Amino acid sequence: MQRTSYRPIDCLHFIDGRFMPSLNGKTFANMNPATEETLGTVAEGGAEEVDLAVQAARRALNGPWKKLSANERIAIMRKIGDLILERKAELAALESLDTGKPLWLSESVDIPRAAYNFHFFSDYIRTITTEATQQDDVALNYAIRRPVGVIGLINPWNLPLLLMTWKLAPALAAGNTVVMKPAELTPMTATVLAEICRDAGVPDGVVNLVHGFGPNSAGAALSSHPDVNALSFTGETTTGKVIMAAAAHSLKRLSFELGGKNPNIIFADSNLDEVIETTLKSSFINQGEVCLCGSRIYVERAAYEPFLDKFVAKTKELVVGEPFAEKTKVGALISEEHYERVTGYIRLAVEEGGTILCGGKRPDGLDTGYYLEPTIITGLDRKCRVVNEEIFGPVVTVIPFDSEEEVLEQVNDTHYGLSATVWTNDLRRAHRVAGQIEAGIVWVNTWFLRDLRTPFGGMKQSGIGREGGLHSFEFYTELTNICIKL
């Protein structure tokens, strides 16, 4: 068994360039979901700590950060990305300790992508231009960009560092200052990120970090703070609605990436071996705790049985185990509460008439930790809760279909609209079907392939707005039109 040489860390707030405990001294325990052991303590912040952080961010916005040139900001951002890569092994270990995900996944995806977010946006900011319009011979109009102001960044627990840097990098590139609120379940890499920002030369107060919970805690205080100009939130849809209500009184600018119940449509003419290889990932990577996972699988009837035979066989080969073991493909779920929620849906699937083809239980020999075998369910009606509600675990349903019209009706019959995948070798069908799916991103013959210049976000209750490339800067900047009479 491979084990990490990096020790867990206790997590303090980072406000105005220094680490500090909560003003009242309160802390909470950070738990390891793979062992159920305490990793360390976390400072529990609330309204007072959030207010200190927002005040620091406001001072920095109109102070040292504003005085830096774009080239100076870009150099600092590139340094942040470089330092993330220099500390890759440490960050990957902390991420796997916090989340229960396999170490190889943290090392190969989470941490490299976190660094790339900074490198990408530091390069992309150089390409941003604004419009100029000549109004006959009467006037010349041109637009200038300026930072929105103080940004609140509220982050989920499934991809902690990757998603925090996805927000932080464009916010800083645009000249904003920030207050970060990581998920209470995964505080460690956010704490190291604050240290990295300081070491890279970010002025005091530009990047602030407050740990804590959501309701009646740091999250609620950040959402409702009158001096926070915008909020970017990634997480569960119900929480997004609460944040939106809290932000309404000050009309904060909002960017939400929320839940998903994403379809994976497999036509009979597709390459089944390629489909299986990718569908294993889109179903079960990161324990299925990815908002983009394809948890509703629809297979054209001619390929239904062959797909199921191969998919079940390959799923049974996936090794569920301790995150730092080399052979582990599926780690532990994030918490006991989440484990009970996911397994509750599996019990519900049986009550609703479903058949568990594989998985659905704790693996043998793993009596401690929140482990669950990857689970494939068939025989459910399209109206069943298990088919319609986000489970956010290693659980998928598989349903046959007979026509494009039928599958599109089922695919779009949902409150969600984050992503979808279409598998076919028919070029016309690929364009035809992809163009009718109500989702923010549709992959054809692939999954999780991202060009960071492209728009990313969800429709319906899967989100508000788009991020990526210019779309991120549209959120993190304000435009002023200047009209010059000629």
CATH number of the domain to which 32 belongs: 3.40.605.10
In the predicted model, is pLDDT for residue 347 greater than 50?
yes
Q: Is residue 176 part of a domain?
A: yes
pLDDT at residue 16, as a whole number: 98
Q: Is residue 111 part of a domain?
A: yes
| Among 465, 411, 473, residue whose Cα is nearest residue 124 | 473
Q: Is residue 34 part of a domain?
A: yes
The phi-psi region of residue 463 (left if phi > 0; otherwise alpha if psi is between -120 and 50; otherwise beta) is left
Examine the domain organization and report whether 268 and 236 are in the same domain: no
In the predicted model, is pLDDT for residue 49 greater than 70?
yes
Tens digits of per-residue pLDDT, 198-235?
Answer: 999 999 999 999 999 999 999 999 999 999 999 999 99
Q: Say what percent of the chain tops pLDDT 70.
A: 99
Q: Is residue 470 part of a domain?
A: yes
Segments in 23-105 forming alpha helices (H): 47-61, 64-67, 70-86, 88-99, 103-105
User: CB-based contacts of 285: which residues, under 8 Å, 6+ apart?
Assistant: 105, 293
Distance CA 208, CA 57 (A): 7
Look at the chain and report how many structural domains it folds into. Answer: 2
Examine the domain organization and report whether 228 and 322 are in the same domain: no
Q: Is residue 324 part of a domain?
A: yes
Tens digits of per-residue pLDDT, 76-132?
Answer: 999 999 999 999 999 999 999 999 999 999 999 999 999 999 999 999 999 999 999
Helix axes 70-86, 111-124, angle to 10 degrees: 170
pLDDT at residue 150, as a whole number: 98
pLDDT at residue 6, as a whole number: 83
Q: Is residue 473 part of a domain?
A: yes
What is residue 328's three-state secondary structure? coil
What is residue 358's three-state secondary structure? strand
Distance CA 486, CA 483 (A): 9
Examine the domain organization and report whether 234 and 299 are in the same domain: no
Tens digits of per-residue pLDDT, 412-423?
Answer: 999 999 999 999
Examine the domain organization and report whether 322 and 341 are in the same domain: yes
pLDDT at residue 1, as a whole number: 38
Examine the domain organization and report whether 240 and 320 are in the same domain: no
The catalytic residues are 257
Fill in the amino acid letter for 329.
K
Fill in the amino acid letter for 314.
K
Q: Is residue 1 part of a domain?
A: no
Distance CA 83, CA 51 (A): 29
Q: Say what percent of the chain tops pLDDT 90.
A: 99
pLDDT at residue 4, as a whole number: 62
Examine the domain organization and report whether 214 and 335 are in the same domain: no
Examine the domain organization and report whether 131 and 21 are in the same domain: yes
Examine the domain organization and report whether 216 and 128 are in the same domain: yes
Tens digits of per-residue pLDDT, 305-331?
Answer: 999 999 999 999 999 999 999 999 999
In the predicted model, is pLDDT for residue 3 greater than 70?
no
Examine the domain organization and report whether 253 and 269 are in the same domain: no
Q: Is residue 450 part of a domain?
A: no
| Beta bridge mates, 145 | 479
Q: Mean pLDDT across the chain, nearest whole number?
A: 97
Examine the domain organization and report whether 244 and 384 are in the same domain: no
In the predicted model, is pLDDT for residue 31 greater than 60?
yes
CATH number of the domain to which 407 belongs: 3.40.309.10
Distance CA 78, CA 201 (A): 11
**What does 158-171 look like in DSSP terms, one character per residue?**
SSHHHHHHHHHHHH
Examine the domain organization and report whether 246 and 367 are in the same domain: no
Helix axes 404-411, 427-434, angle to 10 degrees: 30
The stretch 445-459 carries a mean pLDDT of 97
Domain range for 113 is: 13-258+460-485
Tens digits of per-residue pLDDT, 355-402?
Answer: 999 999 999 999 999 999 999 999 999 999 999 999 999 999 999 999
Examine the domain organization and report whether 253 and 366 are in the same domain: no
